[in-house]
Amino acid sequence: MVAAFDLIGNPSSVHAEGREARRVVEAARAELALAVGALPRNVVFTSAGTEANALALSPGLRGPSGGPVERLLVSAIEHASVLAGGRFPGPSIGMIQVTRSGLVDLEHLKALLKDGPPALVSLMAANNETGALQPVAEAARIVHEAGGLLHVDAIQALGKIPFDIRDVGADLATFSAHKIGGPKGIGALVVAEGILGLEPVLRGGGQELNRRAGTENVAGIAGFGAAVKATLAALREDAAQATTLRNRLENGIRGIAGATIFSDEVERLPNTVLFTAPGLKAETAVIGFDLEGIAVSSGSACSSGKVQPSHVVSAMGYDPVVSQGAVRLSLGWSTGPDDINRALEAWRKLSNSLLKH
Instruction: Tell me the catalytic residues.
Output: 302
Distance CA 11, CA 214 (A): 11
- Residues 355, 357: Cα–Cα separation, whole Å: 5
**Residue 73, beta-bridge partner list:** 94, 121
| First-to-final CA distance of the chain | 61
Torsion of CA 164, 173, 302, 94, to 10 degrees: -120
How many alpha carbons lie under 13 Å from residue 314 in its C-beta half-sphere? 11
Other CB atoms closer than 10 Å to residue 166's CB: what's the count? 11
- State residue 128 phi and psi, 5-degree precision: -75, -10
318-322: long-range pairs with CB below 8 Å, 24+: 322/276
| Measured CA distances, 259 to 131, 255, 275, 348 (Å) | 17, 7, 7, 11
Query: Based on C-alpha coordinates, what's the Rg of the chain?
Result: 21
- Tell me the C-alpha distance between 341 and 348, whole Å: 11
How far is CA 123 from each of CA 226, 227, 253, 345, rounded to the nearest angstrom?
27, 24, 30, 36
Cα 119 from Cα 154, distance rounded (Å): 19
Label residue 283 left, alpha or beta by phi (over 0 means left) and psi (-120 to 50 means alpha).
alpha
Determine the 3-state secondary structure of 302 from DSSP. Answer: coil
How far is it, in rounded angstroms, from Cα 13 to Cα 190?
A: 25
